[in-house]
Amino acid sequence: MKLSLQELLETLQNIDENTHPFDIAELLLELREYDEKLYLEELEKIPQELQALVMIELPRHCHEEIVEHFTPDELAGLTNTLDTDDAAELIRNIEEVDEDVAEEVLQSLPNEDRENLETLISYGEYEAGAYMQTELFSAFLDERVGESILRLKELKAKKELDSVYQVYVITRERDFLGSIALEDLILLGPNVYYSELIKEGVNRVSVNALDDIHDVVEIASNYDMGVIPVVDARGKLVGRITSDDIYDIIEERDTEQLYNLAGVNDEAEQEESLFHIGKYRAYWLGINLFTAIAASVVIGLFDTTIQSLVALAVLMPIVASMGGNAGTQTLTVTVRQMALGEINSDDAKKTIKKEVYLSLMNGMIFALIMGLIAWAWFKMPLLGVVIAMSMVINLLSAGFFGSVIPLVLQKADIDPAVGSSVLLTTVTDIVGFFSFLGLATIILL
């Protein structure tokens, strides 16, 4: 339920450091609908330790207002309150609005912090290093457990480290050797050396800072890791990717796929401008218009046949609709499995064969049902045969092309979620209309 302006202001006045940044951001966005100036004033009143986190939660179209309202020095102060992965994200958000301001913010930071952030933002958008946090709990191979626990207490007391789930064992040269869960350390004596623990076996899974972030998410999922260590090309421990980033990436990927299958751009949808949103949607609608015209041309080839038997015009949409729905089922399953890494080039033939068999099975079942309905409806046995044969042909092609199209697009280094549905709809419409009207011309006339 939408709150009134007074209720929003009262709620914002009562927030404290225990309030989650997401909830504050939601309240501010509601307030922004009432009064944009008031929303910025309330954002400025938020405690500093929460302010930067709230900014990250706000959508992209709000970043420009933030950059204009806060000075580079103020933004630098806020950046200093964040963990390195969140600080890097804030700098990137500022950079998207104004590169000069982002540079000023970086120059206002202490040298060590600036160099650290410059390294993080230098990674590509889909590289693991762009999402990693350099704050972590590590212990040396020749160190005692008790010594490392005392150091962890100091880091926690200074609030330099949070969300600690494991200790990363490294050499004095920072070579990564493995990770040990904190709960396992509790059961050990303080005088046990990490060198002894390494011999007993540790989790040695890690990712490279240059790895694709979607591959990292897959590794984290396969090994049930909420937090995953990051190493450089030489195997040196450089950071970790935490669970909140992993969950965000999974959500972004799922949202992007869902939008792309509908011919919608997830980034464009976050714009406030209706023109920009409409422009991208119009692009795919335009392509769909031309494919629909292609299907209509096929129908036009058989205008004489349709005029001779009106029943064909009544039944024609059924064939195309069944083919389209069957193709969408295959396409959705194939694209999703490809995104999860369950289908590769070696599995392509097996996937196509499976989908063709499923489509053929369903085609036979519904062809029989629709054939009998058409026979009873129009008292024409041969009409039932025509629509039954056409439905088998169209569902068979839907299964084949529904699996082939995304695989071919992936092979061509094109996102299989983008455009697959438009291409598939074209195929099922043309095959459906051509087979139905073509068979009717041969058999009925």
Phi-psi region of 179 (alpha: psi -120 to 50; beta: other; left: phi over 0): beta
Say if 257 falls within a structural domain.
no
Nearest-CA neighbor of 92 among 115, 124, 70?
A: 124
Of residues 273 and 248, the one with the higher pLDDT is: 248
Q: Which of 66, 98, 123 is the last residue of a domain?
A: 123
Nearest-CA neighbor of 263 among 240, 233, 246, 285?
A: 285
Q: What is the DSSP string of 140-167?
A: ETTSBHHHHHHHHHHHHHTT------EE
- 176: CATH: 3.10.580.10
Report d(CA 156, CA 144) in Å as an integer.
Answer: 19
- pLDDT at position 196: 86
- pLDDT at position 344: 65
Question: Domain check: are 277 and 201 in the same one?
Answer: no
Say if 258 falls within a structural domain.
no
- 313: CATH: 1.10.357.20
Question: Domain check: are 29 and 111 in the same one?
Answer: yes
- Collapsing DSSP states into helix, strand and coil, what is residue 234? coil
Say if 238 falls within a structural domain.
yes
Say if 133 falls within a structural domain.
no
Cα torsion 368, 371, 376, 380 to 10°: value is: -140
- Collapsing DSSP states into helix, strand and coil, what is residue 389? helix
CB of 439 within 8 A of CB of 305? no
- Confidence band for 387, pLDDT divided at 50, 70 and 90: very high
Residue 83 confidence (pLDDT) above 80? yes
Residues 6+ apart with CB under 8 A from 68: none
Say if 132 falls within a structural domain.
no
Question: Domain check: are 276 and 393 in the same one?
Answer: yes
Question: Domain check: are 216 and 330 in the same one?
Answer: no
Burial bucket for residue 368 (CB in 10 Å: 0-12, 13-18, 19+): middle
Question: Domain check: are 303 and 157 in the same one?
Answer: no
Question: Domain check: are 228 and 373 in the same one?
Answer: no
Residues 6+ apart with CB under 8 A from 203: 166, 178, 179, 180, 223, 225
Say if 263 falls within a structural domain.
no
Q: Which of 66, 92, 123 is the last residue of a domain?
A: 123
Say if 410 falls within a structural domain.
yes
Question: Domain check: are 279 and 411 in the same one?
Answer: yes
Nearest-CA neighbor of 360 among 328, 382, 324, 389?
A: 389
Question: Domain check: are 346 and 416 in the same one?
Answer: yes
CB of 306 within 8 A of CB of 299? yes
CB of 227 within 8 A of CB of 165? yes
Give residue-wise pLDDT tens across range 389-411. Answer: 999 999 999 999 988 888 888 77
Question: Domain check: are 95 and 45 in the same one?
Answer: yes
Residue 86: give the domain boundaries. Answer: 5-123
* DSSP β-bridge partners for residue 169: 139, 178
CB of 411 within 8 A of CB of 337? no
Question: Domain check: are 294 and 398 in the same one?
Answer: yes
- pLDDT at position 275: 63
Report d(CA 355, CA 361) in Å as an integer.
Answer: 10
Say if 130 falls within a structural domain.
no
Question: Domain check: are 241 and 275 in the same one?
Answer: no
- Collapsing DSSP states into helix, strand and coil, what is residue 169? strand
Question: Domain check: are 303 and 372 in the same one?
Answer: yes
pTM: 0.66
Report d(CA 42, CA 20) in Å as an integer.
Answer: 16
Give residue-wise pLDDT tens across range 141-199. Answer: 999 989 988 988 888 887 778 778 889 999 999 999 999 888 888 778 888 888 888 87
Q: Which of 207, 222, 251 is the last residue of a domain?
A: 251
Give residue-wise pLDDT tens across range 307-359. Answer: 888 888 888 888 888 888 888 888 888 877 776 666 766 677 888 888 889 88
Residues 6+ apart with CB under 8 A from 330: 355, 358, 359, 398, 399, 402, 403
Tokens (6 digits) for 346: 């070696």
The total domain count for the chain is 3
Residue 417 confidence (pLDDT) above 70? no
